[in-house]
Structure 1
Amino acid sequence: MSGANRSLKPSEPSHNNRLSFALQAAGIGTWTLDNLHQQIWCDERCRELYGLSGGESVPYEQLVACIHPDDRLDVDIAIQRAINPQSGGTYYAQFRTREAKTRSWRWLRCKGRAFFSETGTAYQLTGVVEAIAPTTNIAGNLIEEAPIATGLYVGRALIVEQANEAILKIWGKDATVIGKPLADALPELQGQPFLDILEDIFATGKAFTAQGMPCDLVVDGTLRTFYFDFTYKPLRNDTGEIYAIMNMAVDVTEQVLAHRQLEAIQADLLQTTQRLGLALEAGSLGSYELDLATGLMNCTPQCKINYGQPIDVPFNLPDLMHIIMAEDRSYVEQAITQSIEKQTAYMAEYRIIWPDQSLHWVRASGRPTHFVGGKPTKMTGVTQEITAQRQLQLVLEQQVQERTEELEATNEELSATNEELASTNEELIEANQNLTRSNENLEQFAYIASHDLQEPLRKIQQFGDLLKTRYADPVGEELVYLERMQSAASRMSVLIKDLLTFSRISTRQASTSPVALSLVVKEALENLSVAIEETSASIQVEPLPSIQGDNLQLVQLFQNLLSNSLKFHRTDESGALVPPIINIRTSQVAVTDLPVSLKPARSAAAYYCIAVSDNGIGFDERYIDRIFQVFQRLHGKKEFAGTGVGLAICQKVATNHGGAISAISQPGKGATFSVYFPVPI
């Protein structure tokens, strides 16, 4: 059944008569609000309290008009909260209305409950209303005027009935929280003990007091921890029932934090004192306090030990002056006097005579303290027996003197050496100039080799081709001689080209830019594509690192190594070609793991090792030193073509890049050439 079809006036069956009489006797009125039609039904006592005249049912607006203008908003907020399904439907409000006869304002307390349809719509509110003593209003005024933070929480729902500016400031809230349950006004209290404490006060009636208790509050949008001295005091009505709890609080956050800081400082001071004691003990440091007026000294046992005195016998300033050697006594007295007059630190090292007549050194320091009228009355400090240090110092001073004399003699020798080095430097400059001229001559030779020497060879080959055409049908051995001549000219041309390459690599500085070795090997393979296809070679290349170097020189290096692997291939028993299998692998080797015989041109913590291995004819490792020399060949020119310069070029390129090259092999089992490059930092 919808709210619109419900009866506005509740039924009054006979079994409720006793309840009605009890309410009338208590001066309590009842009411029912039809929320959908904004009509309110009031019994006689309710109408009397509101000062209404007329029938039992009146418009809700007419009833609101009877409420004090300052209280109407609070009543409306309380009703809106009650008809919200999430609020639980509880309605509570305190407000003022005029008495019908005197027209003076009086306070009413109104309680009720909302009823909701299946769709969650509040269709009806039913409740009671009663006049309350003016003490509640007086309490409200007292709370507003209270000099400390004060709030009033009514009922077990802990409705914030009153909250002065001080407590609102502590909460970081404004007056809109008044009329809300405390748990809604300060949701951050969930999980903290305060709501449980308030509930316990309603159950036991016992007040609660705490000092320096932490409380987490959201202030300016930030959850922060504060500390409070506060009380929860239960308030009772005329019947002795607890109807509210008054909260009075003082923010003591600064005091609590200051106290904690003080405790931390005290703890640090205690630790410092303990460490100081340990340091004094570890360093054999004794401490003393000297009374400047009487000369009496309060010495620790270690202090007396430092002076060679029994620890159970008094030891004062006159006793100290007596054991100080006469030569040092005036110096000590002057140092103490100056420290007192200028109020500065005192420091002195002097000699004393122990009771066994042995000589000892003591270092003493101190500072004037306990000032009265601007003048110190005491001096506090420490002492240390430093005889061993002094003896060591004397030995060191003697050694320093001897060393100084040795250094002076060495300096004279160095001066003479510098003169020799200056002369040597001039010789080196002259040698460098000669080397520069030599390189220039080499470049000129390279130019001549590239142009002037190649030209006659080309003419020899051209004339040979003409003669071969003329003697196409030779009677004798003319054609054989021509072919030998052209073959020799061709070998000479290749040799000149290789020498030119070697000369360029030897005399020109390698450029330094990032070079990807994978691209270098790819370019070398493209240059050798014809030879690879002719030999049906299989080549596997691992991903290679990048280094700093000269791209052209590095291409030449790997092209020479790959060319050798293709050239020095094996044949089977029938004389057929065994296809070359070439693998290029990479690894990183620490300098400590390099082969003993390997000497890279530049030192580094680690090196990239690029290994080029094949299944060719191999060679005897007895000739390992020869293969990297210019014009050194292990095979005749009829077996394998070549000039004996290729591996020398490889070694030169590796050296130019701060690395080195090595090889391992066995005849008939292939060879592996390993090139080492420094790993860039």
Structure 2
Amino acid sequence: MIETLNNSNKDNLLVAIERFELVAKATHDVIWDWDLEKGTVWWNEGMKEVFGHTPQEIEPGPESWFNRIHPDDRNKVIHHMHVAINRADSNRMDQYRFRRADGSYAYVHDRGYTIHVDGKAVRMVGSMRDLSEKMQSDEARLESEANLQFALSAAQLGVWNMNPETGVVYFDERCRGLYGNPSEEILNYESLIQHIHFEDREKVVNGISHALDPEKRAAYDIRYRTVGASDKTLRWLHCTGKAYFTPEGVPYRFSGVSRNVTDEISSKERVAWADQQAAMTIEGSGAGSFLVTLDSNELIYSPTMSRIITGRESSAISRDVFVRHVHPEDFEKRSAAYETASKTGELRYEARFVWHDNSVHWVRVIGQYLYDSTGKAISLSGIVMDITDRIESENIIRTSEEHLRKLIEQAPVATSMFIGKDMIIDLPNEAMLKIWGKGAGVIGKPLREALPELENQPFLQILDDIFETGKPYAASGSRADLMIDGVLETFYFDFSYKPLRNSTGEIYAILNMAVDVTEQVKSRQALEQSEERYRQLVNELERRVQKRTEELHQANQELVNSNSNLQQFAYAASHDMQEPLRKIQSFSSRLQTVYGGSFDENGVFMLNRIQDASKRMSSMIDDLLAYSRLTTRDSAFEPVDLKKIASAVIADLEFSIEEQKSQIKVGPLPVVWGNPAQLTQLVQNLLSNAIKYRKQNVQSIIEIHAHGLDEQELSALPRILPEHSYIRIEVSDNGIGFDEKYLDRIFQMFQRLHGRGEFSGSGIGLALCKKVVQNHHGHITAQSEPDKGSTFMVYLPIPN
């Protein structure tokens, strides 16, 4: 079963990785993935396709990114990145210049999302989009708008705007001059009509009426005379305009331009051209303009128009440029637009045009026919705009939405979207439909209608609040009552609501993700009930534990008293045993001095044996007394400098060192955590042993060193202090050594591997060493071979 689950997890991981790789390949953006813990940055193939950088030249770390940012932008971008990481922001955006492989710089839009684990930023993932063409297009648009403004000024056009509902008319300064500068601050339709020549008033009123008629929506293009309000000067004006309607057909704006054509009234063609230019100004676009005289098919165009249609400026193109360069697949769309224009007078269509270099661009064409007095179309004028960026953006959005749809459908958790304030259900995956106990029939319905049982529960209000505030919401173990097969059942969910915003920042949907935790919550509730049932048992147990604690405290106090008595006994016993030994040593010494000459050889031998035995007994009592003092740990631990202790011990052993001609080498020793007196005993006994058990006719060399521990060695130590680190102290010699099969034996009381005739001693020294190390929660062991020396290893704690 576990193997099956592991395989399933691996399959899911492989599928997720494959999806990410497909997304990275499918998009035209440059995808990047910055591992903040490892300090590595991964780039998709877009790094080569968009910027020309090959994988071989891309560094593995963030320098592959930072070093290619324009020097003037680098500090700002890096600062924004670190601010986003340090503030735990979920996302960041920047626009800056990024160096291509050829040394040029691209303008990029960079968006990144930060991934956090336990509140720490561990990863940042995002994408770059090359905005160079868009920015060039924006610059061209701004330039075109400036050119149009200049053209308006050069053509002496005045701009006007009328509110059909109130009749208030807004004139710019030029328009006011065309009407003789009326004195009224706020102009209105009725008063302005009085400044129109009486022979032309009816024509103007009818023209405006037809333009504001929702059934006719006629283009306003008319010439008439005005009589100046203040100077009474007669002027011929050519006015063009258009009415704008609400979806219900109510006109809400009527605006246009006016030009003084008094000196040009005889030149109809020029007047028509000026009128059409003004009409295009109303449309708010000046990307490229054209005028076609229908009788002769003569084409008058701006350089910008030629560049948008063909990809380059040309001084010799004809009307068929709109046919030759249109994409074959869009011929029918163009023909249909002209057929509609023949009936309505307005030409509008969007189509792909193939430039001279065979690149394809989307172009929007807007035109308007001009008719003579008989109703015959005499010219077609209009504008063209390059909308490639808009179409590509829409395609990217559609692709992103399709990816989102697939991700939601394949998400391992229940997921759905609620569109608009009516919360229309969209894209619920199978897991969500299963939770709701509903089929696909709920798609497209308001959430309130699809799940009426939610009406008296908090979820609908939470969703309404999110649409108002834009704040996401998440909850764990929240109760929900759902109607499953006609039965209202209770479930528990971990869920989240996240608002989704469009390009203008408005919330258009909420993403809902939910995990069914009903079994976990019910198990927890059962556990809480069980805990309540056993609460009394716990109280009883606490009472018994308290009683047992008091008993242990009393026993511990008795143990303290016992240890104190033991120490007093050991001290008294040592003194009581030392006193007869001192007398034996004293009298035997006097006996040897006074009567030694009277003893035969056997008597002298026995007297010497008495003295040797008394000395060994005295030494053994001293060692036993020292060992007994170690049976209770001295709690007065402090930082102890082993180097100072080693120096003091070597000074005390100076006579033995010189007598045995030993050389002691002391390496750097640390400060350890322990009792100075006990550690002095430890070092003295280890050095004494090393000096004693030397090989004859070989200079004795003894070394003391300290070593750090790795995790494996530390984990193998028994009885360690968890809050302390440890150090290993080694005392090595080149003495007689021993067989390691006796390793456990040498640390026991009174155990000897050699006879007293070979080496003196009580057999307690190493046992005392072991006791000192145990008191310090440490460990002692040794490595040795006969005739190859020994190394004693002591593990001791060090201060924090």
- What is the TM-score with the length of structure 2 in the denominator? 0.41
User: Whose RCO is larger (CA < 8 A, sep 6+)?
Assistant: 1
